[in-house]
Amino acid sequence: MLHLGQGHTIPAKDVVLIADWEATRDSQDTVDFLNISDEEGFIIDYADGEPKSFVVTEEKIYYSIISSRTLQKRMNFVYNLE
């Protein structure tokens, strides 16, 4: 399981992408993707409107208050346990 902050977890095996919020905001394609995903109901905001990162799975996109670097370290830890 990958902990996204505020007591929320998702299965680590479902993670497709972990992205830094600020670094990706410069890309209009990413902004459009996230806006459309939000309009379509695919966004789950675990960051209370102030995300530091977002995690893409096959079915949902999760906003997290945890940095992408920390989430990546957590993913590496989970995979090393397996």
Query: What pLDDT, on a 0 to 100 scale, did the predictor assign at position 80?
Result: 63
Is the pLDDT confidence value at 78 over 90?
A: no
Residues 65, 24: Cα–Cα separation, whole Å: 15
Query: What pLDDT, on a 0 to 100 scale, did the predictor assign at position 30?
Result: 95
> Taking the CA atoms of the chain, what radius of gyration do you get in angstroms?
12
pLDDT (mean) for 37-60: 97
Amino acid at 42: F
Phi/psi for 36 (5° steps) reads -65, -40
Going by the DSSP 8-state scheme, the letter that residue 61 receives in this structure is E
Is the pLDDT confidence value at 20 over 70?
A: yes
